Amino acid sequence: MKRIESTIVADEVYRRIRMLIIEGKIPEGTRIDRKILADDLGVSLTPVNEATARLLGERFLERRSGTGRESEGLFVPERPTAELVHVFAVRAGIEGIAARLCVERAIAGEHLDQFVMLCSSFSEYRDRDLSLPFSAEERDIYLDADKNFHEMLIDYAYNPILSDLDSNLGCIHRSYIKGLIRLPEETLPEHREIIAAFVARDPELAQRLVIAHHLHSRDVLKASLEANSSKLI
């Protein structure tokens, strides 16, 4: 009789592979060998197959047909900058309403311990001198703090439809595949303003600031695309 794989194991394998893609440790264009992944993660093929099926549905992977083994199968898609422009526009909508819901839940007194954790995001940078540039190592650490904040935003909003949208589209995670779009020196003040709106229990302001935050990143990407296009003319 076949061994039944634990759901916890399958979820962890999914999370690990997804993070390897997001962090660039499985680069864009890489063909996925599920047996090698299973061996590297120390699990059977069953949870790896489940994980890759989920990642295929979330567009972290794509299926290609080719003439040979190396040109067909599952691959990490190559994400053009143009796609990220659309991703950040969608994030603005999803996370904007999520921010409003977070504040509304806080006003209602729901799970305030989680809200306090959300409002404590970036506290390690409270005394940071933003006139000094972040080092490459500091940017990597900030990237993790940025991801955690936006994930907590969705989680605390506690809206299953929003959670499904984010999970199925993979918007938050897909937007980090190329790393930070803007420098921490620029986005940290915006994060501080958003958190201040949370603390002030102002749902409208929180929503507006989160939308502006993501649309600013979208506009930076658009400007980059236009600059590259003009160089080709």
Which of the four pLDDT bands, split at 50, 70 and 90, describes residue 6? low
Structure confidence at residue 98 as a pLDDT band (50, 70, 90): very high
Which of 48, 75, 102 is the last residue in one of the domains? 75
pLDDT at 1: 36
Are 66 and 132 in a shared domain?
no
- Chain segment 19-35, per-residue pLDDT in tens: 888 777 898 899 999 99
CATH of the domain at 61: 1.10.10.10
pLDDT at position 230 is: 62
- Domain match, 196 and 134 both: yes
Same domain, 85 and 61: no
177 burial level (CB within 10 Å; 0-12, 13-18, 19+): buried
pLDDT digits (tens, 9 = 90+) for 55-85: 998 888 999 987 766 778 999 988 788 889 9
How far, in whole angstroms, is CA 6 from its chain's centroid?
26
Identify whether residues 178 and 70 lie together within a single domain.
no
Domain with 214, as residue range(s), is 81-232
Which residues are paired to 73 by β-bridges?
64
Domain with 104 in it: what CATH number?
1.20.120.530
166-193 per-position pLDDT tens digit: 877 777 877 887 889 999 999 999 999 9
Query: Which pTM was predicted?
Result: 0.79
